[in-house]
Amino acid sequence: MSVEVITTISPTTNEPILTRNGVSAAELEDLPRLAAEAFRTWRGTSMTDRQIIIRKFLKLLGDKKDELAEELTVQMGRPIAYTGVEVTTAIKRAEYLVKVSEDALKDTEGEHEKGFKRFIRKVPVGPVLIIFPWNYPYLTLINSLIPALLSGNTVILKPSPQTPTIVEQVSKLFAEAGLPAGVVQYFHCGSPLMIESLVRNPAVSHVCFTGSVAGGLAVQKTAADRVVNVGLELGGKDPAYVRGDVDIEWAAAEIVDGSIFNSGQSCCAIERVYVDEQIYDSFIKAAQKVLRGYKVGDPLSKETQIGPVISKRSKETIDAHIKDALDKGARDATPENPTFSNLPQNGNFVKPTLLVDVNHSMTVMTEETFGPVISVMKVKSDEEAVSLMNDSEFGLTASIWTKDIDKGYQLAEQVEAGTVFVNRADFPSPDLAWTGWKNSGKGVTLSRFGFGQFVKLKSFHLKDYPK
């Protein structure tokens, strides 16, 4: 059987830019075997030694920031002005996880009783399979990789075919940092059957998947043949509610950025905007003003703010969502902008689009668009806004924009999402649990709670020997 050849297509030009060989059946069998062998020694290393290696790795990662940033821009199309920020943010996120790891993984003492010692220990689960996406590859990888290693597990990485060099860089830098062989491995793969084979392998003790709902359900279904946990970070259709008391121009600038940064290709991008009817028209004008200042174009130009979306298929989906909305009565309120009307012809460029007069009969308000589209709907009250925010199969993040912080907090308590922001959006904070409700996923990454999926509990019950 021939080995699969995987080709990475540039979203900027739609031309091939990289090829990688897939994994053979024999190599696929070796991955979990080697991970299991490495686990036997890595699990016995001290927390201090694990932290030292990871800190060295993070230092090396920072030293290569510029090179890694250019790779990201070329492979997935985010403008070069921002890709380096992902690397530095990933480092800061990992540093926090290192800082709290000892406390998060410490023993939990039982009730005191003379003649007895009882405690609960968090022990590593074993080899972990991490399947992660292209849109924020360093950030989504760090979410699982760092706590998995700190907990004493070994890891097998499966990157997106769109950003194949991420795992190669990470593996190389960990080796330079002194990580023992076999603790971090990777493979390139485009075949679902290969991934299914690894998910079913009894040596794999835990699976982390970040990506689409369909992809996550497929992994969960495959894993159902075994008693193995699966952590899922899936899609979103994240809402924002703009109350009538805000500084309109400030809120518009923040929401436009939260909607179309990274060409809208973020699971926690703002995809639905509900605006108090009293400021609706003013908000639309303010959003138009913001959009007039945006520049779409070559992502390798430092002036570019919006690059292409990832693929022709993605562009087609975005265009279909916009057409459906317009066909059902929405209006395209996108302002004139010379870079919007003169998009590069060869890549998957989509103009940032401002849709008004939308409603929940439209696909753009119910299904994940994953593109630079700002859909704005008028609401009459806080109650109507919260009801509409919760009217979704997704529940990753949501945001409320108001000068009245107490009211914002009260409304946040009613919103069905794993993270609710007030006067902020699109910012996974490392000290908070990153978790999806509804079809946005299950399990937790980040914070002290993010270590939970990488350990199993073992109770120790010791009684003094009778004298």
Residue 434 belongs to a domain: no
Place of tokens 């996550």: 216
DSSP summary character for residue 4: P
| Six token digits for residue 361 | 């009969």
pLDDT at 1: 56
User: How far, rounded to the nearest angstrom, does the alpha carbon of residue 27 sit from its chain's CA centroid?
Assistant: 28
pLDDT at 443: 96
- Residue pair 77/11 in contact (Cβ under 8 Å)? The answer is yes
Residue 170 belongs to a domain: yes
Complete DSSP assignment for 318-334: HHHHHHHHHHTT-EE-P
Residue 432 belongs to a domain: no
Q: Indicate which residues carry an active-site annotation.
A: 233
Residue 50 and residue 185 in one domain: yes
Residue 285 and residue 198 in one domain: no
DSSP summary character for residue 367: S
> What residue type is 295 in one-letter code?
K
For the chain of 467 residues, list the mean pLDDT of each consecutive stretch of 10.
90 98 94 98 98 98 98 98 98 98 98 97 98 98 98 98 98 98 97 94 98 96 96 97 98 98 98 98 98 98 98 98 98 98 96 98 98 98 98 98 98 98 96 98 98 98 94
* Structural domain range at position 258: 238-422
CA angle 241, 245, 251 (to 5 degrees): 55
- Nearest CA among 406, 398, 308 for reference residue 350: 308
Residue 12 and residue 96 in one domain: yes
Rounded to two decimals, the pTM is: 0.97
Q: Domain count of the chain?
A: 2
**pLDDT (tens digit, 9 = 90+) per residue, 290-322?**
999 999 999 999 999 999 999 999 999 999 999
- Please state, in angstroms and as integers, the Cα–Cα distance from residue 274 to each residue in 15, 141, 404, 439, following that order: 39, 32, 17, 21
- Please state, in angstroms and as integers, the Cα–Cα distance from residue 132 to each residue in 96, 142, 164, 431, following that order: 21, 10, 11, 21
Write the CATH number for 280. 3.40.309.10
Residue 243 and residue 271 in one domain: yes
Residue 51 and residue 80 in one domain: yes
What does the alpha-carbon distance between residue 240 and residue 352 come to, in Å, rounded to a whole number? 18
- Residue pair 339/298 in contact (Cβ under 8 Å)? The answer is no
Residue 337 and residue 366 in one domain: yes
pLDDT at 424: 98
- Residue pair 333/288 in contact (Cβ under 8 Å)? The answer is yes
Residue 218 and residue 167 in one domain: yes
- Please state, in angstroms and as integers, the Cα–Cα distance from residue 87 to each residue in 32, 179, 350, following that order: 28, 20, 25
Residue 258 and residue 128 in one domain: no
| Six token digits for residue 346 | 């060869």
Q: Is 364 helix (H, G, I), strand (E, B) or coil?
A: helix
Residue 260 belongs to a domain: yes
**pLDDT (tens digit, 9 = 90+) per residue, 57-93?**
999 999 999 999 999 999 999 999 999 999 999 999 9
- Residue pair 39/154 in contact (Cβ under 8 Å)? The answer is yes
Residue 268 and residue 357 in one domain: yes
Residue 22 and residue 86 in one domain: yes
Residue 362 belongs to a domain: yes
Residue 13 and residue 127 in one domain: yes
Residue 427 belongs to a domain: no
Residue 445 and residue 416 in one domain: no
What does the alpha-carbon distance between residue 156 and residue 185 come to, in Å, rounded to a whole number? 5
Residue 281 belongs to a domain: yes
| Six token digits for residue 267 | 């699971």
Residue 433 belongs to a domain: no
Write the CATH number for 90. 3.40.605.10
- Nearest CA among 205, 144, 145 for reference residue 456: 205
